[in-house]
Structure 1
Amino acid sequence: MSTHSPDSETPTATPVREQWSSISKHVFNSYLEANNAFLASMGVQPPTASKTTDADRDCGASTTVESPLAELAFADEAWLTERSVEEHDELGVGEYVRFTKRISESDVSAFATASGDTNRLHLEDGFAETTQFGGRIAHGTLVAGTISAALARFPGTTVYLSQDLEFLAPVEIGDAVTAECELLEDLGDDRYRVRTTVSAASDDGDENDDGRTVIDGEAVVAISPLPDE
């Protein structure tokens, strides 16, 4: 990883103060969301999510809403979820969940700060244009995180036990990605072997670039019934 600061001089670089303000805003939101999820896991009701202000939208913040799924602390009105069953006792081989979201500029900025991965390939236009990708791309582990988001949407409480991944293609900032998780094998004791894939649709309108598989792999997870509330 490069030690070069993301605020180096490039013609398209965002002013340092403005960039830091934006990153700080999104990191705060990420920490708040993580805290809410932790409180929910402990049986404490987190604050009700509300729509963002105009200032939030200027920073590219998400619009959070109350989640219709008991498994989630909150949702975003732009996220899409499809699942084949609604109850934990209906889970079995062949059941699936699909989760779709667009990878935004704010996602990349927040992930870079939260993870410490400030690779110039993800943050600097001028540098990224000189690489084999021809422009900035999203962090691979950020994109892979949508698999975790999909797993969390199975009915019940999902816990990761293992994950194998193969990164097949890059994801550009602005692409919409869909993570699909399908139960392949019932291992007993609420544990399952799961096929995990992520596909991406380009934001540039190129139909030939839509639906390409960018990540493939398998996971083992435990999906237990939701605790009584």
Structure 2
Amino acid sequence: MQERSQTPIGSLTDAWVESGKHFSNSVEHFYSSMMAANRAMLTANGEADESDRQPPVTPGVTYSKSDWTFEHADDGDGIVSVGDRIRFSKQLTEREIGEFADASGDTNRLHLDDDFAEQTRFGRRIVHGTLVSGLISAALARLPGLTIYLSQDLQFLGPVDVDETVTAICEVVEDLGDGRYRLTTVVEDEDGETVIDGEAIVLIDDAPDE
């Protein structure tokens, strides 16, 4: 993937990039942690979450909630093509961070313990990087058809604060044939700064009939 110039976000960003080098690009790891978190967030608090879940809009395959937003910029033919872009935004709440820690097993005190986090380079608690990157999966799922991850490369460029609203932006940049597509995958914070940058390859099948 061609390297792109990036606007420095300061020494904190440099430190974040260095600390993010240990992240595994394993699709299996990405899937297992995010699917576990999704199950926890959908089932936590039982009736409260179920009552807020919105039914999928045909021919969509995803559910939504009233405080989530997404936009799909395409040519309107319902077929994925180069240039299509999806934006998905949601707030990453205190409750979801705790649920993700339990579901994934990532109980790093940087994300959970205020007193501990204040002594780190960040000076406060931050959201799990994998939880933030999960918004990319949420955006991709809203492409027409049934999206299946084949690979995902990520670079973490900055932290996300607890209760911050972030936006995943995915754009189709290449049709690889046989239903496979290459996309750029970016997550921005509330100030429009890029906190995650990457690239994904997905396979898109026809959605099952209702």
TM-score, normalised relative to structure 2: 0.75
When the two chains are superposed, the root-mean-square deviation of aligned CA atoms in Å is: 2.5
Residue 222 of structure 1 corresponds to 203
**Which has more radius of gyration?**
1
Alignment partner of 1:132 out of 121, 126, 144: 121
1:98-152 deviation line (CA, Å, top 9, x unaligned): 1000110011001000000000000000110111111000000000000000000
CA contact (8 A) 1:51 1:65 kept: no
Alignment partner of 2:182 out of 190, 193, 197: 193
Structure 2 residue matching 1:121: 3-state secondary structure: coil
How far apart in 2 are the matches of 1:110 and 1:65?
Answer: 21
Give the letter for the 1:185 counterpart: E
1:163-208 deviation line (CA, Å, top 9, x unaligned): 000000000101111001100100001100100000011xxxxxxx
Of structures 1 and 2, the one with the larger relative CO (CA 8 A, separation 6+) is 2
How far apart in 2 are the matches of 1:104 and 1:157?
Answer: 28
Indicate whether 1:80 and 2:69 are aligned: yes
1:17-69 deviation line (CA, Å, top 9, x unaligned): xxxxxxxxxx99934848xxxxxxxxxxxxxxx972xxx7xxxx993222335
Indicate whether 1:155 and 2:122 are aligned: no
Indicate whether 1:30 and 2:19 are aligned: no
Structure 2 residue matching 1:186: 3-state secondary structure: strand
In structure 2, list runs of 5 or more residues that go unmatched. 1-35
In structure 1, list runs of 5 or more residues that go unmatched. 1-26, 35-49, 202-209
How far apart in 1 are the matches of 2:149 and 2:38?
Answer: 24
Q: How many residues align?
A: 172
Structure 1 residue matching 2:139: 3-state secondary structure: helix
How far apart in 2 are the matches of 1:29 and 1:185?
Answer: 28
